[in-house]
Structure 1
Amino acid sequence: MASVFGDIEIAPPIEVFNLTAQYNEDNHPQKVNLGVGAYRTDEGKPWVLPVVRTVEAQMATDPTQNHEYLPVAGMVDFRAAALKLLLGEDSPAIVENRVEGIQAIGGTGAIRLCADFCKKMLGYDNMYTSSPTWGNHLGIFKSCGYTNVKQYRYWDAQNRTIDFNGMMEDLNAAPEKTVVILHGCCHNPTGTNPSEEQLKEIADLAERKKFMILVDEAYQGFASGNLEQDGFTVRYFVKRGFEFFVSQSFSKNFGLYNERTGNLAIICANKDAKLRVKSQMEMVVRTTWSNSPNHGARIVASVLNNPAYYAEWKEHVKTMSDRIKMMREMLFQKLKSLGTPGKWDHIIEQKGMFSFTGLNPAQVDIMIKKYHIYLLKNGRINMCALTTSNMEYVANAIHAAVTECKL
């Protein structure tokens, strides 16, 4: 029987998930998946944070817990705790009651809320994000109807650092009323963020051009192991007096990947603006997912609002950050000892979960087909997918790929 859906084109596969599917089908004994964007232990296993297990056990036996709807804007305790974590308890935005949080379906949902709101309520039609960036940035804004979705230069492939002059030139040419996405820390995929001095120049330009800044803060704590230090970008824009948005994700620093726990922070000029924005954001939520889930938000709120649990969680974050740094150092030293052609200092200079290795598509193809090591075609790898057990094999494969197929 013919189908009404028969003429619909098959959508292209989502690269990172397709890569994992290929990995799962591979029977090679030394296969390695460096593509998945999730923390792994040195045994290559997902890590459920001990403090999360503790809280979940308490939730399961708490007779006061139920499954009633949350407020449309989300769990009050969660939103307040998320904002304090992001901005600091003494933030002027919090003290002056001009910041609002809207619980979202992960960081992705928070970005979607921002895109939808800026399009419908503020009339924005332009969005600029870095090249390269997390692929969903482009898709979300296009799906919200933005007709001018562009990328500003960001990565200097030759020197393996930020192309700051190119970035500033492209942003200076952008029209006013543009949503500009910045990565708060641990830029995905390059692991490289602007310096404090460069951030000042970006803020000066954004102020002059009247940009709406959206900071994607998906990895707070993963860059340095210090939550306050990793919040510098957001806190700087608050200090400068900007009205802007921040997408918060608790997938990485709480390990709540499939709980989709996020928050959209909206920093406003005053309390009246905050109330107006919240009322309209609730309408966006109502017509998008209607009501947010409880489980992940309850975990985050329980940890952040309990001093003992909070202290334990900060140690967990440092454990993850330290392991990532150790893997960076080990890979760098292995490549150095092998005499691998090229400059590899960027491996230890980059921050966070991902490294933009500099491997080209042909070299990536060799890694996958010859060595069964799976990574994105742009050369991005998940540093914590490396372990003390597979490090030598991966380093040797990189050396072979680079030697066989030079840039």
Structure 2
Amino acid sequence: MHSALRIASRQATTLRRASVFGLQAARAGSTWANVPQGPPVCITEAFKADSFEKKINLGVGAYRDDKGKPYVLPSVRTAEEKVVNAKLNKEYAGITGSISGTGALRIAAAFLQRFYPGDKTIYIPNPSWANHKAVFSDAGLKVQQYRYYDKNTIGLDFEGLIVDIKAAPKGSIFLFHACAHNPTGVDPSQEQWKEISEAVKAQGHFSFFDMAYQGFASGDTDKDAFALRYFVEQGHEVCLAQSFAKNMGLYGERVGAFSILGSSAEEKKRLDSQIKILVRPMYSNPPIHGARVASEILNTPALYQQWLGEVKEMADRIITMRSLLKSNLEKLGSRHDWSHITSQIGMFAYTGLDAESMKKLAKEHSVYATMDGRISVAGITSDNVGRLAEAIYKVKG
């Protein structure tokens, strides 16, 4: 019996080795053997690997409450309960409807690539959201940059922006962040937006607005929509990629909208027909649950007013964290001017720290953010703002 068991054991071991060898051989000759490992898309892995209890993640692009936790808006909870209790079916929605802000950008890019009569080049700010270039390039558009951020003043390079708008070939496509510019937190003033509008109109450019953070800049959704609404009032042709991920906290529900302005009801019908043709082979139909929640909020007066108040509360918390970070740095005796921390707006701030400083923050102080010095202010809390200021002070002085 024991001899038989030993023989069976040896046979099983031989089979396992053969199986492993066969698997390795199959992998070596795999169709995908030459696909290279891509770079990490975020800093989450490094943050997770850090065992320090008081580590700080300032790289996440999502709102967090003052305990550093994901936040579900009370208005969203109420709207979601109403949607569930309505016992609606799960049939397809109409083809029209986009999968959040990125989906809206992708639809817009495909539409412009196929139908825009001018040069298929889109100008984006320098810097811009990291995914903008990839989305537009993958859709077949050429991507150029216009001056936006002045690292010397840690503010807007308004003069360079205007010069670049005027220098671009007539009829170019220009992408503008409607509010709460990502990643810099630097927005034009209303008077500057008016000058931008004049320059764009003089060159016959097409304006493309990305509005991912409506309400997060000032706490007022109407005020944050100023640039887009002003351009429309001035007779510009515009399109809009809009997301409800941030201002409704519907990140995983993928709720957004792509809108394009037509000159007539007949033109609207033609535009709509072509957008449906683009969407059909791309993802066919948008998800419905998050859209129903957003619709419930926007179309129920009491819920809408509640939501506006919640958006202001989130924006106010971010503003408070900016103020606390600045005051803590000043109390530590920092010799640097940190006024840009509070003059910038929205979820993100450009600290002015270089890549070497950001590496030191991560390695020596367990503070994680992107190498360009951008931090997510939503990741700052009442509990960690003091330690964050001390870490920046030790690195920057």
Same fold (TM over 0.5): yes
Residues 68-107 of structure 1: pairs in structure 2 closer than 5 A: 68-73=91-96, 103-107=97-101
Distance 1:292 1:34 in 2: 31
Distance in 1 between the 2:248 and 2:327 partners?
30
Q: Which residue of 2 aligns with 1:55?
A: 79
Q: Is the 8 A contact 1:341 1:399 kept in 2?
A: no
Distance 1:322 1:35 in 2: 20
- List 4+ stretches of structure 1 deviating above 6 A: none
Q: Which residue of the partner structure matches residue 279 of structure 2?
A: 285
Cα distance between partner residues in 1 of 2:163 and 2:32:
45
How many Å separate the matches in 1 of 2:34 and 2:378? 42
Mapped partners of 2:390, 2:204: distance in 1: 49
The alignment status of 1:33 with 2:57, answered yes or no, reads: yes
Q: For structure 1, which segment, 342-351 or 122-131, has the greater mean C-alpha deviation from structure 2 after superposition?
A: 122-131
Q: CA deviation at 1:196?
A: 1.7
Partner residue, 1:43? 67
Q: Which segment is superposed worse, 44-53 or 121-130? A: 121-130
Deviation at 1:397, TM superposition (A): 0.3
Aligned to 2:236: 242
Shift of 1:10: 2.0
Q: State how far apart, in whole Å, the 2-side matches of 1:39 and 1:7 are.
A: 38
Per-residue deviation at 1:207? 1.3
Structure whose CA Rg is larger: 2
Once the two structures are superposed, the pairs formed by residues 3-402 of structure 1 within 5 Å of their partners are 3-14=30-41, 17=42, 19-63=43-87, 65-73=88-96, 103-123=97-117, 124-146=119-141, 148-402=142-396
- Overall identity of the aligned pairs, in %: 41
1:9 shift after superposition: 2.1
Distance in structure 1 (CA, Å) of the matches to 2:114 and 2:49: 44
Aligned residue for 1:263, secondary structure, equals strand
Instruction: Give 1:5 deviation, angstroms.
Output: 1.1
Query: Deviation at 1:340?
Result: 1.5
- Alpha-carbon shift at residue 151 of structure 1 (Å): 1.1
The offset of 1:60, in angstroms, is: 2.1
Q: Which amino acid aligns with 1:209?
A: Q
| Number of equivalent positions | 369
Q: Which amino acid aligns with 1:149?
A: V
RMSD: 1.1
Q: Secondary structure at the match of 1:228?
A: helix
State the distance in 1 between where 2:171 and 2:106 align.
18
Matches of 2:202 and 2:60, distance apart in 1: 39
Give the conservation status (yes or no) of the 8 Å contact 1:221–1:321.
yes
- The unaligned stretches of length 5 or more in structure 1 are 74-102
The one-letter code of the counterpart of 1:299 is V
Q: Say which SS state the counterpart of residue 116 (structure 2) adopts.
A: coil
What is the letter of the counterpart of residue 247 of structure 1? A
Task: Quote how far apart the aligned CAs of 1:179 are.
Answer: 1.7
Q: Is the 8 A contact 1:341 1:402 kept in 2?
A: no
TM-score, with length taken from structure 2 = 0.91
1:252 counterpart SS class: coil
Native 8 Å contact 1:36 1:382 kept in 2: yes
In 1, Cα distance between the equivalents of 2:304 and 2:202? 39
Encode CA deviations 1:258-314: one digit per residue, 9 max, x unaligned: 111110121222222211111111111112111011011000000110011111111
The 1-side partners of 2:373 and 2:74 are apart by 33
Asked if the contact 1:126/1:177 (under 8 Å) is kept, the reply is: no
Q: Kindly state the Cα deviation for residue 59 of structure 1 after the two structures are TM-superposed.
A: 2.1
Deviations 1:368-392 (A, max 9, x none): 0000000000111111110110011
Q: TM-score, normalising length from structure 1?
A: 0.89
Question: For residues 79 and 49 of structure 2, what CA distance do their matches in structure 1 show?
Answer: 36
- Paired amino acid for 1:142: S
CA contact (8 A) 1:31 1:373 kept: yes
In structure 2, C-alpha distance between the alignment counterparts of 1:47 and 1:302, rounded to whole Å? 19
Confirm or deny: 8 A CA contact 1:190 1:355 kept in the other structure: yes
